[in-house]
Each structure stands twice: as structure tokens, then as C-alpha cells.
Amino acid sequence: MIRLEGVSKVFKGDVTALREVSVEIQRGEFVFLVGPSGSGKSTFLRLLNREEVPDSGRLMVAGKDIGEMRSWKVPYLRREIGYVFQDYKLLSKKTVYENVAFGLEVIGRPRSVIRKQVPAILDLVGLGTKAERFPDELSGGEQQRVSIARAFVNRPLILMADEPTGNLDPSTSVGIMRLLDRINRTGTTVIMATHDRGIVDTMRRRVIELDRGVVVRDESRGVYE
């Protein structure tokens, strides 16, 4: 599904974000990316959906070479990758329903599909009754569920989450992790960058640890440290 072969990324001012990273992630895996701030976790994710381009090495996602990809093809890559953020990135003037529908509208899905899929996904994330609410009427956990719904409504092959529980209290975080686990069980590859020791230690999934851009540990059923 995802293969990095000696991938490096250097930012301006010789800041090395990733150095010679080689990792392979299979379809349907659940992977935690851990490591201190600035270790390259976010860069790792941003390379996968080609917000960044690798400086060297080869990066394959869903059978496509990301480094070689023409920019007009990038949107089609991103349709295969759902992306969830710490700050949710919801549109405050749209309702829950509209926020999720927006993700389908802008990739040209027909309205009949939208009408069918949005209520289904809202039920899946447990917000079926709050479709007409606006984001600022929801709790943080609920907002993150909306954001996950938007990322998953198009049934992507891969779901990436960058610190999805970073702004949430532990009990709310558990709910979010259950949701991500459930999504993973549908066969979706989930990659989650996190600082949350409790979650990593409880879930016991594959852990890839980065430190100053280098993979220092890669364990299946690992713990935070």
C-alpha cells in the first residue's frame, strides 16, 4: 500500500525533516507514528498525500510513484487518502451535514450519492442526530468525529490522522480511537501520528518511532517507548 525507499526531505536552511527513511505499510494495517516534536512525523504524513515532495528516494502510495506524479493528478491521489487534524479544520458556517457533504461535493459526486452516504457516515461516527448543528455547537470530541466522517465518507484506502486526540481529554480520546479502530476493521489503512502514550500502549499496534528524521524503532504490537 505504502512504500518508502530511502526517502529524504530537507527544508530550507538545511533542516533535515526525514533522512533515508525506508518503511513499508501493508493494506489494512494500523500504524502509530511516534516521536518528539520536530522528529518528522508530520512531514512523513505530508509526503504521503504529496503536500511535500521527497528530495530523494522513492515513495509509492497505492501503486503510484509520488515523486514522479504530475501535479494535476495529485487531487486524485488525495481522494484515496482521508486526512484528520488536531484542529479539525471544519467550516464554521456549514452544518455538520454540509461539512461532510462538502467533501463529496467538491470531488464531483452526484447528489444522490451524497444524500445516501452522508447520513450513513454520520450514523457510523455517532452524530446521526446532530446533522443540522454547527461546529461551534459541538464538543471537541464531536467536532473530531465530524472531521473523521468527512475524511472517511469517500471510503479512502488510507486514513491519516495528525494528533487527532491532541486537543481532547482522555475519555473523549478513547471514543475517537474506537472509531478509528472501527474504520481500520473495514480494511482501511490507518496511520496516526501521536504523542498520546496511553493510547499507543493500550492499542498495541504497529509503532514506528522517528527521531530527528530517522526511523529508530519499528515494532508490530509496540508501545510508546
Instruction: For residue 184, give the C-alpha cell.
Output: 481500520
Instruction: Report the Cα 74 to chain-centroid distance in Å.
Output: 16
Q: Using the minimum distance from each CB to another protein, give the nearer residue, 118 or 215.
A: 118
Phi first, then psi: give them for residue 68, nearest 5 degrees: -90, -10
Handedness of CA 196, 77, 68, 4 (dihedral sign): positive
Among positions 30, 32, 44, 83, the unique one binding another protein when judged by CB under 8 A: 83
Q: Using the minimum distance from each CB to another protein, give the nearer residue, 150 or 205.
A: 150
Longest C-alpha distance within the chain, in Å? 50
Among positions 6, 22, 24, 110, the unique one binding another protein when judged by CB under 8 A: 110
CA distance 137 to 121: 20
CB of 217 to another protein, least distance (A): 30
111 binds another protein (CB under 8 A): yes
Task: Look up residue 138 and give its DSSP letter.
Answer: S
Among positions 62, 77, 157, 223, the unique one binding another protein when judged by CB under 8 A: 77
* Contacts with another protein, 139-178, as mask; x by CB under 8 A: -----------xx--x------------------------
CA distance 204 to 192: 13
113 binds another protein (CB under 8 A): no
Among positions 107, 185, 197, 201, the unique one binding another protein when judged by CB under 8 A: 107
Q: Using the minimum distance from each CB to another protein, give the nearer residue, 110 or 187.
A: 110
- DSSP-assigned letters across all residues of 75-137: HHHHTTEEEEETT----TTS-HHHHHHHHHHTTT--HHHHHHHHHHHHHHTT-GGGTT--GGG
Which of the ranges 15-23, 38-46, 108-116, 161-169 carries the binding residues for another protein, by CB under 8 A?
108-116
Among positions 58, 64, 78, 133, the unique one binding another protein when judged by CB under 8 A: 78
Instruction: For residue 67, give the C-alpha cell.
Output: 515523486
Instruction: For residue 62, give the C-alpha cell.
Output: 497505492
CA distance 188 to 54: 24
89 binds another protein (CB under 8 A): yes
64 binds another protein (CB under 8 A): no
105 binds another protein (CB under 8 A): yes
72 binds another protein (CB under 8 A): yes
Q: Which of 117, 91, 16 is nearest to 57 (CA)?
A: 16
Residues that bind another protein (CB under 8 A): 49, 71-72, 75-81, 83, 89, 91, 102-103, 105-108, 110-111, 150-151, 154
